[in-house]
Amino acid sequence: MKHRIALLLCIGIGFSVRAQLTAGEVPDGQIAYDPGIDLELSMPNSVDSATVDIDCDDSFDMEVRLVRGQPELDAPNMAILRMIDDDLELCDGGQAPHYYIAGEQLGCTGAYSWQSDPEFVLGSWGGFFAIEPYSVDSSYLAFQRDGHVGWIQLSFDVESMETVYLRVHRVLSICGATGQEEPYTALPVLFPNPTIDGEAFIDPGPGGVRSVEVLDAVGRIVARYGTVRTIPAPRLPGSYLVRVTGRDGRTTVLRWIRQ
């Protein structure tokens, strides 16, 4: 009997581990997109920032901010992540967030926990209380809302008396995030993708389409459609998001490349 219980526990633990999201992973129904954020500052006492939408609701949820201080006068350079929505939590250790590498499970354990704070310092250099790391290269941060976990991949370097930078490479949107135990259903498909010109066809899967919205790389809606099966390609080349709402109310976000 003890062996049977132990076996069942091992099976349960195995399923739990397999279901956990890893850095860089894109689950079915979600999308990772490039927000086009590349901040660089060389003038002392200057600031630049950019916003990110992580749930496709036409409003921004996070802001990344780069500060070029004046280290020679103890004014630090800083990379900052600001939570615009107060229900977002970041995996943080109190002094700095947890930085994950690609393929690492996004478990927030040990010295780290899910924390809600208006502002997180990702790294700072040049002041009395510098915060490591001073630079990261294509690392991942984990965030969550209502148990749905996403990630943001970024690089920054604030250890400089000259030019500092902060880049966001990709963001895993939680637009289509669902519970791990929900049954799989067929998702809409957009093709051809990439699209050179002309139109793209939407295969809505079961139930049909209620509405379609096309968003640019920074989350602005550039086109809206009702019950359609084809949509015209955007005028300008680039990376877009296509938000498809089915007749059952379920929303799926697809990445669309206009060449």
How far apart CA 201 and CA 22 sit, in angstroms, is: 32
How far apart CA 170 and CA 128 sit, in angstroms, is: 32
How far apart CA 37 and CA 207 sit, in angstroms, is: 36
Report the DSSP pairing between strands 189-191 and 199-203.
Answer: antiparallel
Q: How confident is the model at residue 58 (pLDDT cuts 50, 70, 90)?
A: low
Q: How confident is the model at residue 187 (pLDDT cuts 50, 70, 90)?
A: low
Is a pLDDT exceeding 60 seen at residue 59?
A: yes
pLDDT, tens digit (0-9, with 9 covering 90-100), for 139-153: 999 999 988 999 999
Could you give the residue ranges of the DSSP H alpha helices within the chain?
2-19
Q: Give φ, ψ of 182 to 5 degrees.
A: -70, 140
pLDDT, tens digit (0-9, with 9 covering 90-100), for 198-233: 788 887 666 678 888 888 876 788 889 888 778 888
Chain centroid offset of residue 68 CA: 25
Question: Which tokens in the block code for residue 257?
Answer: 């490349």
pTM metric for this prediction? 0.64
The DSSP letter of residue 15 is H
Asked whether 68 and 43 are in contact (CB, 8 A), the reply is yes
